Amino acid sequence: MKIVLAFVFAIAATTAFAIADPTSVDHGGAYVGSVVVEPGQVVEGDVNVVLGDATIEGTVDGDVNVLGGNVIFRNGGHITGVPHAIGGEVVQDIVPWAPTADTSNRAEHHLWWRVASAIIVLVVFLMFPLRTRMALDRLEQHPAIATLAGVCGWVAVIPVAIVLFITFILWPLIPVEFVLLLVATVIGQAALALLVGRRFYELIAPKTTPTPLVALVIGLILLTAAELVPILGIMVILLTMLVGLGAVLLTFVPDWSVPGTPGSPPRNVIGGPPMPVG
């Protein structure tokens, strides 16, 4: 549940502007921009912050989750739950003198976060194997177009949400849009992991082709390892979300390069054991 909420918070951040000055908070909830819990203040519930820092000078009775910032403890501030910070470590790598939080368990939390994400990708692959295979096919045949489609898809998120918001009657479709975006992104990540895993396997054993499940597991391991590298990991995550979404969007467009389509050029069929579609 926390992973899904964190993703929704990240998407919501694209529709709002970060607040320049920290906002003093006295209750749990989701905030855009930096926030501060004043000395002597007790906040009940989790504090979720997007595109900003969470400065804790008082007490938070719950977790503190930050996307694109740091959890900063000052003046004896403390929390009863667990701090989670994603994106702040990049700032620390570039600006070492920036204020830091208590990060003794940050590496472990980040690792488990990535492992949990990989498990979700595996589950979604088992739920939508045919769609994943189609996304893989588009990714192999049209990588540039998939990238362009991904850019257009992410850019369209905000206008589509605004249109749904303005119509009032279509408000219930806004969370549906985010859910579909989440599912499409995960399917795209599965397709990219399949491609990476299969290429790596064939590099090690050129005369054999792995099963889709084996290729997916290998690809997820390689992508997860790359995502754990400071700075490079952020680039890998962004590239995965961009190209993956574009490949999935292309699965809903007739593919002019499919054999049998009038005017389509011949191409090699994807090798490997057949993938179950039931």
Find how far residue 167's CA is from the centre of its chain.
28
Coil, helix or strand at residue 198: helix
Element (H, E) at 218: helix 212-227
The whole model's pTM is what? 0.55
pLDDT in tens, 122-140: 899 999 999 999 999 999 8
* Per-domain residue ranges of the chain: 2-104, 113-250
Conformational region of residue 168, where left means phi above 0, alpha means psi within -120 to 50, and beta covers everything else: left
Within 10 Å of residue 246's Cβ, how many Cβ atoms?
Answer: 27
pLDDT in tens, 210-243: 888 899 999 999 988 888 787 787 888 888 888 9
Which DSSP string do the residues of 142-179 spell out, in sequence order?
-HHHHHHHHHHHHHHHHHHHHHHHHTSTTTTHHHHHHH
Cα–Cα distance for residue pair 50/18, rounded to 1 Å? 8
Is 275 a residue whose pLDDT tops 80? no
What was the pLDDT predicted at 276? 52
